[in-house]
Amino acid sequence: MSATQPVALVTGAARRIGAAIARRLHREGYAIALHYRASGEDARVLVEELETARPGSTLLLQADLAEFDRLPELVARTVGQFGRMDALVNNASAFFPTPFGETTPAQWDALSAVNLRAPFFLSQAAAPHLARTGGAIVNIADIHGERRPLPGHAVYGMGKAALLYMTRALALELAPAVRVNAVAPGAILWPEGGKDRGEREAMLAMTPLARTGTVDEVASAVCWLLRGASYTTGEVLRIDGGRSLK
């Protein structure tokens, strides 16, 4: 690969929104370090696809982001493979309900480790490398981290709210060398376990554009924040069809 080819580390890149981000950045000329935890087969299929398009442009990284020591390792392996780092996309997320009155410390730790601790310490490890290339960080948050709490998911929402605070804090800490922004998706993909039809209809009724978004629309927003938004830092870009207006 060229010494000037940009390099992005994308966490949770094997499937869904993460895979769309990886594909979009790869089309834009990035070499991609694809992190996954358990979706090994999906990750390998994606790597094969990207390698077919441009040989030598990917690195596959398996890690449980709840294991603290693996976080700086992901950054080190990315830089070791490609010689530089231009972008960090903190996309990986843990999501499950924590009804108040039934929440356990283990659930708190599991959600917080992936949704908040990992993005912070990955950013800390990546920052010196990103500063050398004038790079950027994009955190994938959630509109429920800002205005409208999601019933039964307090711990998840608190983590995403803290991730947005972290975005603003690091934007100040790392300026002017590194820009830090966030994308807050709305209804993009329904939960893999399914969602009641009535709940879907109610959610779309609160969405002025009256449809779900697509993973490609989120990926386009991430790409713009990394490549085009050169005078933007500390901001949250809501990809929610206007739902946060209601």
Determine if the peptide bond prior to 176 is cis (ω within 30°). yes
Q: How much is the mean pLDDT over the chain?
A: 94
18 and 185 Cβ atoms separated by less than 8 Å: no
Which pLDDT score, from 0 to 100, does residue 15 have? 96
Which amino acid is residue 43, in one-letter code?
A
In angstroms, rounded to a whole number, what is the distance separating the alpha carbons of residues 125 and 9?
Answer: 12
Q: Is 55 a residue whose pLDDT tops 90?
A: yes
Q: Is 191 a residue whose pLDDT tops 70?
A: no
Q: Is 67 a residue whose pLDDT tops 60?
A: yes
Which pLDDT score, from 0 to 100, does residue 40 have? 96
Segment 124-150 shows an average pLDDT of 95
Segment 222-239 shows an average pLDDT of 97
21 and 10 Cβ atoms separated by less than 8 Å: yes
**pTM (two decimals):** 0.94
Q: Is 231 a residue whose pLDDT tops 60?
A: yes
Which pLDDT score, from 0 to 100, does residue 207 have? 87
Question: Residue 152 corresponds to which tokens in the numbers above?
Answer: 């039964």
Which pLDDT score, from 0 to 100, does residue 187 have? 84
Q: Is 98 a residue whose pLDDT tops 80?
A: yes
Which pLDDT score, from 0 to 100, does residue 194 have? 55
Which pLDDT score, from 0 to 100, does residue 153 have? 95
Domain boundaries, the chain: 7-245
- With respect to CATH, is domain 7-245 assigned 3.40.50.720? yes
Which pLDDT score, from 0 to 100, does residue 195 have? 59
Confidence of residue 198 (pLDDT cuts 50, 70, 90): confident
Residues in a beta bridge with 89:
10, 138
226 and 194 Cβ atoms separated by less than 8 Å: no
In angstroms, rounded to a whole number, what is the distance separating the alpha carbons of residues 62 and 214?
Answer: 26
Q: Is 61 a residue whose pLDDT tops 80?
A: yes
Which pLDDT score, from 0 to 100, does residue 202 have? 79
Which pLDDT score, from 0 to 100, does residue 205 have? 83
Q: Which helix (H) or strand (E) segment is 136 a member of?
A: strand 136-140
Question: Residue 156 corresponds to which tokens in the numbers above?
Answer: 């998840």
Segment 218-239 shows an average pLDDT of 97
Q: Is 17 a residue whose pLDDT tops 80?
A: yes
List the helix and strand counts (H, then E) for the chain. Answer: 8, 7
103 and 156 Cβ atoms separated by less than 8 Å: no
Residues with active-site annotation: 156
Which pLDDT score, from 0 to 100, does residue 30 have? 98
Q: pLDDT tens, 157-176?
A: 999 999 999 999 999 999 99
